[in-house]
Amino acid sequence: MDLTAELCDRIRAAQAQHQPLELRGGGSKRFYGRPATGHPLELGGHRGILSYQPTELVVRARAGTPLPELEAALAERGQMLPFEPPHFGGEPTIGGAIASGLAGPRRPWGGAPRDLLLGVRILDGRGQVLGFGGQVMKNVAGYDLSRLMAGAMGTLGILLEVSVKVLPKPPGETTLALTTDPRQALALMGTLQRQPLSLSGLCFAEGRLHVRASDTSLDQVRAVLGPAATEEDPDFWRRLRDQTLDFFTRTDTLWRASVPAATAPLAADGDEILDWGGAQRWLRGVGSRENLRQAVQAVGGHAMMFRGPDRDQALHPLGPALAGLHQRIKAVFDPERILNPGRLYPGL
């Protein structure tokens, strides 16, 4: 019996017994969201690249395929996953990257996981194998249900296969850095983003503004940053992506906020990283979660506790209308609520 058939049998048995299941892949993102509950269901063995068409910029792989394996295969052909998925140690998989919806520093220019997801095969809460989307960019027939799986954390279905758009790796990139303060960094990032430059990283961290750009745009970037800007180790972006910078190694609560890029610094003591040109904020020592969420919501954003002890309230609360929509979608895909129940919100 193949692994898909085994998983179908497991899901059908769990549904019949009303038994919750905790979906486990590579384990690199178990800290994320609310605590998982239920009987463990291991998915990491469902791996392998199924097809790769470099000329079409599309790769199809089983969800348990390790990210390093997939990225190495793409690199051999000079290509990459444009959303620069975080690894976070452990054994990250492409399924976990899609299910979490998380992206690295290149995301504003390369796209989010859901933007690059062309199609999926999933196993729903009834034990049915369903396919959505396709393997081409122009597949626009019907509802785009495949993108619902990006960020759903397995609450709507078990990812079996994913088809993802890839892009050529830039022929040359350089990182420049400048010592400055958060407000000046925001102003400089705004100036850079208003110009026709080939950027792939804008981040203010630990007193330094970091700019990653194509070598063809370096002269324009230097003109904005001024003569004090110096070349920086490009490994900064991997350490930012995987949260191994000193800022991330502390044990106090880590918050992630999504806000308009020009929003003023949110942490009064400056304990904040401004990524994605200012649109993604990493914060520590913010005090009251209610005050932070009110401040972020006031500018049209949201905040979540990314790492910390009180995971029951990790995600930004949903309003009644949006919560009702989530519940109706959950009921369609997983009527007995056995797949990662409560991983995102109670009742989902």
In tens, the pLDDT along 214-263 reads: 999 999 999 999 999 999 999 999 999 999 999 999 888 999 999 999 99
Mean predicted confidence (pLDDT) in 181-192? 97
Mean predicted confidence (pLDDT) in 166-183: 96
- The two tokens of residue 86 are 């975080």
At 22 the pLDDT is 94
Is the pLDDT at 270 greater than 70? The verdict is: no
Beta strands in 63-136 (DSSP E): 79-80, 117-123, 129-133
For residue 287, what pLDDT is reported? 76
d(CA 314, CA 322) in angstroms, rounded, equals 17
pLDDT of amino acid 137: 46
The answer to whether residue 57 scores a pLDDT higher than 60 is yes
CA dist list (Å): 31 to 24, 68, 144, 195, 234 = 12, 20, 29, 38, 27
Contacts of 94 (CB under 8 A, 6+ apart): 61, 63, 65, 66, 67, 70, 85, 162, 164
Q: Are 165 and 82 in contact (CB under 8 A)?
A: yes
> What pLDDT is stored for residue 264 in this prediction?
94
Cβ neighbors of 8 (< 8 A, separation 6 or more) are 123, 127, 128, 129
Q: How far apart are the first and last CA of the chain?
A: 31
49-63, 259-273, 290-304: least confident range: 259-273
CA dihedral of 208, 209, 210, 212, whole degrees rounded to 10: -170
Kindly report, residue by residue over 129-141, the tens digit of the pLDDT. Answer: 999 986 544 444 5
Q: Is the pLDDT confidence value at 321 over 60?
A: yes
Mean pLDDT of 61-83: 97
313: CB partners within 8 A, 6+ apart: 289, 305
Q: Which long-range contacts (CB under 8 A, 24 or more apart) does 278-283 make?
A: 278/186, 278/189, 278/190, 278/202, 278/204, 279/108, 280/256, 281/255, 281/256, 281/257, 282/247, 282/248, 282/254, 282/255, 282/256, 282/306, 283/254, 283/255, 283/256, 283/257
* In the chain, domain spans: 3-169, 173-312
b/e map 3-36, b = 16+ CB within 10 Å: ebeebbebbeebbeeeebbbbbbbbbbeebbbeb
Task: Express each pLDDT in 10-47 by its tens digit.
Answer: 999 999 999 999 998 888 898 899 988 899 999 888 89
CATH of domain 3-169: 3.30.465.10
pLDDT of residue 290: 87
| Mean predicted confidence (pLDDT) in 130-153 | 76
What is the average per-residue pLDDT within 142-158?
Answer: 89
Span of 53-67, 89-103, 137-151, 297-311 with lowest mean pLDDT: 137-151
| Lowest-pLDDT choice from 85-89, 169-173, 306-310 | 306-310
pLDDT of 285 strictly over 90 = no
Provide the pLDDT for residue 135. Answer: 58
Which two structure tokens, joined as six digits, stand for 10?
């497991």
109-122: average pLDDT: 96
Mean pLDDT score, 87-96: 92
